[in-house]
Amino acid sequence: MDHIVIRREEYVSGTRDRPEIGIFTQAHQTRHPVPWGQIVIGDTVWMKWSSGPIVAAATVQGFRQIETCSAVQLREMTVGSKLFDLSDYWASLPPNFSAVVIWLEEERWLDSPIFPSARSRGESWVPLKAPELREAWLTSQAVDQPKGDTRRGARTRTIGYALRFQVLRRDGFTCGYCGRKPPEVKLHIDHLQPWSCGGLNVLENLRTSCEACNLGKGATRL
């Protein structure tokens, strides 16, 4: 079965040890975050940003669903502190909740994000049980494309969510100039060749930078 998961960008977290494996957790106090018995190893999971498009797909490699889970248990299941910078998330969890942890593999980022025509009605996990449901979620609506560029979005001012996360993950969520990480600093995405000088929004031209390093550098070429 296919599923849509709706994730906040800051909760997307691979592990530092095994970057090819993604880990996904959800916690809910009053119901199971994913209905019991509806997830199977080998299922496809489509990842949607909470306020944006579907940007990636992955395969379920394993999962655990636990009732009356605690933050400590959840951390242990997710290789704990080796996850990227989730302290705010751990701190936000209530004492007990229903939890699901899903280990993902074969994560692939879409060249073209999908803007679904369906809505989640407050769920953060949507099993695509019927073909109509699948179609509503996995059919892209028309999106304005920049003209004259070979790569989608290469000359639009904003950096898309998927690309932004690819840069952050490639750089280990660390400022490429001073080596600091959140929560000490807030991370930005910096253009090596400035956008104002024709620099493209492509992986090779982007680097993770903290706010101070990014502002200090401005439109100066290194």
Which residues of this protein are in contact with Zn ion, per CB under 5 A? 175, 177-178, 210, 213
Instruction: Output the smallest distance, CB 212 to Zn ion, in A.
Output: 6
Q: Which residues pair with 44 in a beta bridge?
A: 2, 59
Q: Which residues pair with 69 in a beta bridge?
A: 97
Between 52 and 172, CB nearer to Zn ion? 172
Q: Is 158 helix (H, G, I), strand (E, B) or coil?
A: coil
Between 16 and 186, CB nearer to Zn ion? 186
Count of Cβ atoms closer than 10 Å to residue 164 Cβ: 20
Instruction: Output the smallest distance, CB 213 to Zn ion, in A.
Output: 3
**Residue 1: exposed, middle, or buried by beta-carbon count in 10 A (0-12, 13-18, 19+)?**
middle
- Rounded to an integer, what distance in angstroms lies between the CA atom of residue 40 and that of residue 23? 15
Between 162 and 213, CB nearer to Zn ion? 213
Instruction: Output the smallest distance, CB 207 to Zn ion, in A.
Output: 10
Between 175 and 206, CB nearer to Zn ion? 175
Instruction: Output the smallest distance, CB 103 to Zn ion, in A.
Output: 32
User: Contact at 8 Å (CB) between 146 and 180?
Assistant: no
